């Protein structure tokens, strides 16, 4: 009997902002469209920065115009309406696969997909489930989404272990699909001098960059403490913080001033030229307290910049357990400062290691591997129907 083809995939997500899940979804859709697979997106708030990229593929975007700023009663009404519309869309469009991302739309997608008799329902756990610790009501909703799903994808072994422990989900229902990275935007070697000039980095300065939205668990305060420990070093360093301010920007700037390091730090905010910024810097730092599989870390590896990251979640796995970068304990500014000093003092060796990391990302985290793994998973589940 001939294998059932993958004709239609319906994607379900909360926003089209520049988050890791959103970027992975858009990259997957672009690959599917190139392969002739019809894709459609159901999104609660489709006003994000990735919308233009999706529109360029020609797919249909079903936007519910959901606004998280509305009052609670209004939000619940909109979400109930969105759930009905998602069910009706899935019933009418009849996709072969419904793939959802992130907790809220995992739940909505799994429920609507099951009610619409979608053959394969895929939900994803893309990070450690600490949202359940912050908001306990997510625990039963996550477990229900898991139960209604055909398969649950995780992007690292650390996320698998966390999901099994928290949700009591059996391993046979989980598939690991690693994040994909498009290497082409991260090859700016010939333009490095030009990029550094635009950032105000002279030849005698080592530029250190952290790419993460300004959220408390991303560890920016630890990085500031580490910078303060290094401020009397003879080596000249400049630190660049790239990322959207999610509520702690003023605190960070005040802390930098309090520590006497404000002249060493530039807050660049949200940027759409992260590949260029990475190419113009000398060291990438990820001081997070928690991670699933960090896209920023993989992008730094793809650039070939030396990396220092905390040993949390999937960071160790991505760095091949320290082979391709320096791992330090989380919430430990002293260890972070020591690592920055060590990499600075052996920068040529660090750059050689970084080039090996780039090759590893190319072979392990390519967009082709990412899309192929999804298609194989879909076909496997369809064969078992």
Query: Tens digits of per-residue pLDDT, 318-337?
Result: 999 999 999 999 999 999 99
Claim to verify: residue 225 and residue 260 sit in the same structural domain: yes
Q: Are residues 222 and 92 both part of a single domain?
A: no
Identify whether the C-beta of residue 356 lies closer than 8 Å to the C-beta of residue 301: no
- Locus of tokens 């991260």: 186
Q: Rounded to 5 degrees, what are φ and ψ at 117?
A: 60, 35
Q: Is position 174 within any domain?
A: yes
Predicted confidence at residue 43, as pLDDT, reads 97
Q: Are residues 155 and 14 in the same domain?
A: yes
Query: Can you tell me the distance from the alpha carbon of 373 to that of 226, in angstroms, rounded to the nearest whole number?
Result: 40
pLDDT, tens digit (0-9, with 9 covering 90-100), for 44-71: 999 888 999 999 999 999 999 887 656 7
Of 88, 280, 128, which is closest to residue 193 (Cα–Cα)?
Answer: 280
Query: Is residue 169 very low, low, confident or very high in pLDDT (cuts 50, 70, 90)?
Result: very high
- Looking at residue 201, which CATH number applies to its domain? 3.40.50.2000
Within this chain, do residues 200 and 101 fall inside the same structural domain, yes or no? no
Is 217 among the domain residues? yes
pLDDT of amino acid 188: 60
* Chain mean pLDDT for the chain: 93
pTM score of the predicted model:
0.86
**Domain co-membership, 155 together with 71:** yes
Q: Is residue 116 a part of any domain in this protein?
A: yes
Q: Is residue 233 part of a domain?
A: yes
DSSP class per residue in 40-83: EEEEEE--STTHHHHHTTT-EEEE----TTS-HHHHHHHHHHHH
Which residue segment(s) compose the domain that 286 sits in?
Answer: 184-364
For the segment 194-246, what is each residue's pLDDT rounded down to a tens digit?
Answer: 889 999 999 889 999 999 999 999 999 999 999 999 988 878 899 999 999 99
Structural domain tally of the chain? 2
Neighbours of 140 (CB within 10 A): 11
What is the signed CA dihedral for 103, 83, 374, 292, rounded to 10 degrees? -10
Asked whether residue 162 falls in the same domain as residue 309, the answer is no
* Whole-number Å distance between alpha carbons of 362 and 211: 20
């Amino acid at each position: 009997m001939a294998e059932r083809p993958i004709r239609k995939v319906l994607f379900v997500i909360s926003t089209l902002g520049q988050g890791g899940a959103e970027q992975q979804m858009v990259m997957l859709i672009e690959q599917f469209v190139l392969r002739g697979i019809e894709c459609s997106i159901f999104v609660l708030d489709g006003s994000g920065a990735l919308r233009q990229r999706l529109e360029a593929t020609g797919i249909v975007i079903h936007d519910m115009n959901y606004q998280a700023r509305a009052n609670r009663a209004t939000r619940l009404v909109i979400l109930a309406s969105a759930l009905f519309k998602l069910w009706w869309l899935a019933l009418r469009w009849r996709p072969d696969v419904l793939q959802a991302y992130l907790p809220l739309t995992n739940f909505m997608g799994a429920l609507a997909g099951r009610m619409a008799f979608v053959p394969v329902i895929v939900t994803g756990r893309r990070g450690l489930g600490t949202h359940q610790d912050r908001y306990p009501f997510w625990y039963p909703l996550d477990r229900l989404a898991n139960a209604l799903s055909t398969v649950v994808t995780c992007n690292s072994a650390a996320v698998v272990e966390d999901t099994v422990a928290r949700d009591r989900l059996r391993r046979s229902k989980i598939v690991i699909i690693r994040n994909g990275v498009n290497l082409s935007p991260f090859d700016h070697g010939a333009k490095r001098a030009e990029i550094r000039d635009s950032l105000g980095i002279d030849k005698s300065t080592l530029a250190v960059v952290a790419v993460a939205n300004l959220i408390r668990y991303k560890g920016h305060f630890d990085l500031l403490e580490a910078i303060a420990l290094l401020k009397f070093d003879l080596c000249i360093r400049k630190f660049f913080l790239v990322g959207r301010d999610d509520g702690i920007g003023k605190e960070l700037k005040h802390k930098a001033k309090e520590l006497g390091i404000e002249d060493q730090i530039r807050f660049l905010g949200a940027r759409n030229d992260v590949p260029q910024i990475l190419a113009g810097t000398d060291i990438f730092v990820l001081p997070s307290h928690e991670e699933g599989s960090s896209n920023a870390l993989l992008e730094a590896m793809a650039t070939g910049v030396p990396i220092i990251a905390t040993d949390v979640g999937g960071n160790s796995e991505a760095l091949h357990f320290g082979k391709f970068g320096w791992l330090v304990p989380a919430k430990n500014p002293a260890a972070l400062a020591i690592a920055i000093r060590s990499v600075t003092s052996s920068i040529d060796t660090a750059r050689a290691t970084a080039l090996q990391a780039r090759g590893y990302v190319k072979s392990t985290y390519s967009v082709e591997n990412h899309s192929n793994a999804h298609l194989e998973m879909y076909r496997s589940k369809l064969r078992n129907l």
